[in-house]
Amino acid sequence: MSYRVKFQSVSKRYKLYSKTSDKLLDLFSLRRQGTAHNALRDVSFEVEEGAVVGIVGLNGSGKSTLSNLIAGVTMPTEGQVEIVGSAALIAISSGLNNQLTGLENIELKGLMMGLSKQRIKEITPGIIEFAELGKFIHQPIKVYSSGMKARLGFAISVHIDPDILVIDEALSVGDQTFTDKCMAKVNEFKDRGKTIFFISHSLSQVSKFCNKALWIHEGSVRQYGEIDEVISSYKEFLRVYNALSDEEKKQMRAAHWG
Amino acid sequence: MKTIGWLIKEHWTNAYLMLRLSLYDLKTMHVSNRLGLLWFILTPAMQIGIYWAVFGLGIRGGAPVEGTPFIIWLLCGLIPWFYISGGIIQGTRSVYVKLPMVSKMKFPLSVIPTTVVLTQLYTHVALLLILVTILAFTQGVTILALTGMLFYTILLTAFLLALALITSTLATLARDVQLVVQSFTRMAFYFTPIMWTMNERTPDTLKNVMQLNPLSYFIEGYRESLLTDDLSQIATKSSLYVGACIVVLFVVGAWMHMKARTSFVDQM
């Protein structure tokens, strides 16, 4: 079967330094400085075209690292990430410059995300319409309300029209109307058969929206498959986990970080 | 070698991006000021005024330098210096200042220092145009002088780009580097013949040390070509030395940037 995203025993290690000077030393010396933290360990999975994958897991399990790897924001330490087509992370506030107007920001963020001049011209009207900025489009975005800024950021991200969309808790910033509007837009993507990764702590939202799920636990894939199976076993895990005493939770985490 | 090819390719494919980013940068810097872009001229003009008053009128009592009116002589050294100091200091800051903005996207990070140096180049070109206009009315300008000016501007830009690649990487890993670079730049102002000249009274040791200071080469070059139409420095060993400096800085910078680049985003 053809795949859109393929992870082959991907590991991601972050280096933790105790001193800033170690960072500089690490640049020059052959001996490795600092201690390593394994954010992801030997992760392998394949996602085919048109799949909508919910990524679930506890805080600190490696969900954000995984989404950064899919979007190509960072590189794996080991293993291979294969992406067929373009991937983009919906990051609402990044790439916006407070001093510039809405219109200028559309061009700037579009360029920064790798669009051509021509393409930006084509998508600008759609963005303005979606963001509902009205006369504010010619104002510097520092005068925008946070909702307006979020709408603009989201609008630019989705109108870039990537083949693979990664949504990392992005929709939890605005009010219900904003979330609904964004979900409608994302559903449109789904209908067009695009591959979507959806990261959320709201399991009901994930079950409703996705058709597959990837459960990450302590940096490894615990389960990957049809949405209902994964969500029900994750729910079961959460029930057990939440019943644990703080001491036991701590022990469980120590086993990983140690 | 592969790193360098990669870096050049990244610049080539993102040329339009760099152009737009640097123009927006220019705009952002002064968009909230009432006088806007005029500040790009006003800030250096005020500095020039002070140096003129203190060194030209105060210390020298208004005497010309080697037959050139002091203010003209000053402008020919100070305008390149503004580009040097701006390019070094802003180039060093570039990556860590812009990083939060690009952290969530796949962004060609190596274009950031280049974009920032490019922004400084615009100001430099504007100031040079004013300088050439002044010269045209006072000393006269020849094609030879303009050729020299162009040559040194291009070489200086290459030098600043290569240096920014190194310092921006180091400053992103450790902010202290910014402070070190700033103090060195301030010292370099006095250690480069900007407010003084090398003549027969200068001790030979100092002259020899100055041969090793690439900044001295640029300042002398601008002055010689603009004031005396003298391009002879281009044909000396100094050009070879400065060219070698640029190549070494660029190779080291490319290597450092590529090695540290993944950790830039990871450390956020």
- In 3D space, the residue among A196, A191, A118, A193 whose CA is nearest the CA of residue A157 turns out to be A196
Provide the token pair at A30.
């052959």
CA distances in angstroms from A36 to A61, A65, A218, B193, listed in the order given: 16, 15, 15, 49
The pLDDT, as a whole number, for residue A172 is 67
Average pLDDT of chain A, as a whole number? 87
Stretch B187-204: mean pLDDT: 88
Question: In this complex, is the C-beta atom of B13 within 8 Å of any C-beta atom belonging to chain A?
Answer: no
Name residues whose C-beta falls within 8 Å of residue A20's C-beta, 6 or more positions apart in sequence.
B173, B174, B175, B176
Provide the token pair at B18.
């760099």
Q: What angle do CA B140, B145, B147 make, to 5 degrees?
A: 140
- In 3D space, the residue among B195, B29, B148, B158 whose CA is nearest the CA of residue B84 turns out to be B158
Beta bridge partners of A231: none
What is the bridge-based pairing of β-strands A3-16 and A78-83? antiparallel
pLDDT band at A94 (very low <50, low <70, confident <90, very high): confident
pLDDT band at A174 (very low <50, low <70, confident <90, very high): low
Residues 217-256 of B with CB under 8 A from A: 256
How far is the alpha carbon of A48 from chain B, nearest alpha carbon, in Å?
A: 22
| Rounded CA separation A246/A243 (Å) | 9
Stretch A112-126: mean pLDDT: 91
- Whether A198 contacts A52, CB under 8 Å: yes
Output Rg (C-alpha) for chain B, integer angstroms.
19
Please report residues of A whose CB lies closer than 8 A to that of B260.
27
Give the residue carrying structure tokens 């070109």.
Answer: B125
Judge: B24–A94 Cβ closer than 8 Å, yes or no.
Answer: no
pLDDT band at A31 (very low <50, low <70, confident <90, very high): low
Question: Per residue in B160-177, pLDDT tens?
Answer: 999 999 999 999 998 899
Residues found in chain A: 258
Stretch B190-204: mean pLDDT: 87
Judge: B174–A20 Cβ closer than 8 Å, yes or no.
Answer: yes
| Rounded CA separation A165/A157 (Å) | 9
For the CA atoms of B114, B120, B126, B130, the dihedral, rounded to the nearest 10 degrees, stands at -130
Question: Per residue in A4-29, pLDDT tens?
Answer: 899 999 999 888 887 777 887 887 77
Average pLDDT of chain B, as a whole number? 91
- Whether A48 contacts A3, CB under 8 Å: yes
Question: In this complex, is the C-beta atom of A119 within 8 Å of any C-beta atom belonging to chain B?
Answer: no
The pLDDT, as a whole number, for residue A252 is 73
CA distances in angstroms from B143 to A111, B121, B127, B155, B234, listed in the order given: 39, 21, 18, 18, 16
Judge: B266–A91 Cβ closer than 8 Å, yes or no.
Answer: no
